[in-house]
Amino acid sequence: MIVQPDTHWVNGWFLRLCARAVVRIDGIEHAARWGQPVIVEVSVGDHCVAVGARYRGTRTVLGAVETQVAANSADQIFVSARNGFFNHQPFEVTSSRPPA
């Protein structure tokens, strides 16, 4: 699974300056950077994916909404996440598979 956390063009400068991207798959956090893909090996089945932001000096992950993503045996899954127009809006997570 490839997960890429991105920011909205309106408030992205603020998140890139003040927060770190957080990718969580099945409850396990993975180090992430804005605009950079995170590659995680997953097993076949449904997986819970959430992407959010953690402001420097805090422990809480903000804006993370859990989304179920199904992984089939030979699929490579691309997941993108982007926060909303306003900084307080949650991240929208979408998944896709490469064309056959």
Burial of 1 (C-beta count, 10 Å sphere; 0-12/13-18/19+): buried
Which pTM value belongs to this model?
0.85
Task: Give the pLDDT score at 72.
Answer: 81
Cβ atoms of residues 82 and 6 within 8 Å: yes
* Predicted confidence pLDDT, tens digits, the chain (100 residues): 899 999 999 988 999 999 999 999 999 999 899 999 999 999 888 999 999 999 999 999 999 989 999 888 777 889 999 988 887 788 988 888 655 5
Task: Give the pLDDT score at 98.
Answer: 57
Q: Which of 25, 20, 19 is closest to 43 using CA atoms? A: 25
